[in-house]
Chains A and B, each alone.
Chain A
């Protein structure tokens, strides 16, 4: 799509506008409000990284690589009693229909990187790896909404692939609000700059919250708790998929190690 300056479509439901939820209660892409998009992922996609994962959630695609624990890049960042976790979030030049510079330093990317760093610092057993550094590199290849969510989920897989010890498994999900309805895992069409969107990262086993962000105010009469409920249910759906993938991957590994007779 030629992006120059797009004419904005009229937003919201009602006469003359785009209908986000049909009369049957289905969203534009046919999903129910509580349904997460289809997830496809694979561990160990890259050969040089210590751990990696390729992850698709609907049309959003990300690639995450983990290096470490390894020697810190700069003497200044060494912590004597734990590992330092660093995250970089980068979006490909062609990842969204709207042209955006790939310069990693752009505000949204820096914010996303910080959210991820904090979330994973909380689960990685950093005390097990003093004086070292763990790097998480995210590259968004295609962004159809929920890029941060995809990045967090892919990073969990990549960390597992790298064998980095963690106290739990982080899983993320976002919730949007269209046509007076909460919708889980909004696509880019369903997210807009003026809409509220909640991005939640939870620890799968202890159910604790690793990170929670709400962009924009929730409409009057809608509770934060309800939004959180939706996000948590979405995260549980996603966890089931990721857990299955990790088990499948680990089983394949054990089989091919020659641990079963050749």
Chain B
């Protein structure tokens, strides 16, 4: 039986449901299969490859994998990971997620961020590239921070960091990927919309960006930060993106067209 851990075409996993179809809670989406060869010896590499990762919305019962939510069955071959993609309003932190947090509390060594989940996340004021005890960012209550979840456990408060592995861009210059988002505007959207905004060259941001140049940061926790050269544009873009959550595609397209015509 291959080991299964949360947080590696599927190895050790046989899908009962076709990829991309909808599953309901309790529906079996696949079975774990034993990949140990007949002679019983498996190389460490094969063992590692046979690890099946279970993401959000998938639960295990014996050798069956069941969906725990209503959504689309997904699979990532690179990481041998399966999950069920659904839409909801509340965020549950997962490792490596990029989120936008709002500083709720300040302490001497760290801050508490609201990340739109049941619990808050802690961000150390030293978790910034190039930060030292004497030279670290001052984070006010209400500041917006774009950061990465570095510890996500259901039993403990999540931890976040603004250090990007492999990068040495100091927090000071404002060139680093993560850090405080100054100016601009932030809105709250559904998790599903946030995820779709992260798809490269996605229709929503491309349609808007074609007419108005702007910067944006999208947190998988349902927060979107927008900044453009004029406040008017920032405000209109905020409204347009928020509407994408409730309007059907055709209606949204028409709404944006009208809005853009009236703006510039």
**Chain B at the A interface: mostly helix, strand, loop or mixed?**
loop
Say how far B95's CB is from chain A's closest CB, in angstroms. 15
Choose among A123, A243, A254 the residue that contacts B72 (Cβ–Cβ < 8 A): A254
**Which residue of B has the minimal Cβ distance to A132?**
B118
Q: Is there contact, CB below 8 Å, between B204 and A162?
A: no
Known contacts A50-B89, A163-B87, A167-B68; is-contact A129 B249 (Cβ 8 Å): no
A79 → chain B, closest Cβ, in Å?
Answer: 12
Whether A258 lies near B204 (C-beta < 8 A) is: yes
> What is the bound-complex CA distance between A247 and B71, given in angstroms?
8
Residue on A nearest B197 in the bound complex, by CB: A258
- Categorize the interface residue count of chain B: 35 or more
Q: Are the CB atoms of A258 and B203 closer together than 8 Å?
A: yes
In the bound complex, residues from chain B placing their C-beta under 8 Å from that of A128 are 92, 154
CA distance A250 to B71 in the complex (A): 6
A228 CB–B CB distance under 8 Å: no
Report yes or no: A160 in contact with B22, Cβ–Cβ below 8 A.
no
- How far apart are B66's CB and chain A's nearest CB, in angstroms? 7
A256 and B248 contact, CB distance less than 8 A: yes
The verdict on A68 contacting chain B, using a C-beta distance below 8 Å, is yes
The answer to whether A125 touches B71 (Cβ under 8 A) is no
B175-207 interface code vs A (CB 8 A; 1 in, 0 out): 000000000000000011101110100111001
Q: Can you sample 17 A-B contacts with CB below 8 Å?
A: A68-B118, A132-B118, A160-B25, A162-B89, A163-B89, A163-B90, A165-B69, A204-B24, A204-B26, A205-B24, A247-B24, A250-B22, A255-B248, A257-B193, A259-B196, A261-B203, A262-B249
Chain B positions near chain A (C-beta within 8 angstroms): 22, 24-28, 57, 59, 61, 66, 68-72, 86-90, 92, 118-119, 154-155, 191-193, 195-197, 199, 202-204, 207, 244, 247-249, 252-253
Binding site for B on A (CB under 8 A): 50-51, 68-71, 80-81, 123, 125, 127-132, 160-163, 165-169, 203-206, 243, 246-247, 250-251, 253-262
14 other contacts beyond A69-B90, A166-B69, with CB at 8 A cut-off?
Answer: A51-B88, A51-B89, A162-B89, A165-B59, A166-B26, A169-B26, A205-B66, A246-B70, A250-B72, A251-B22, A258-B203, A258-B249, A262-B204, A262-B249
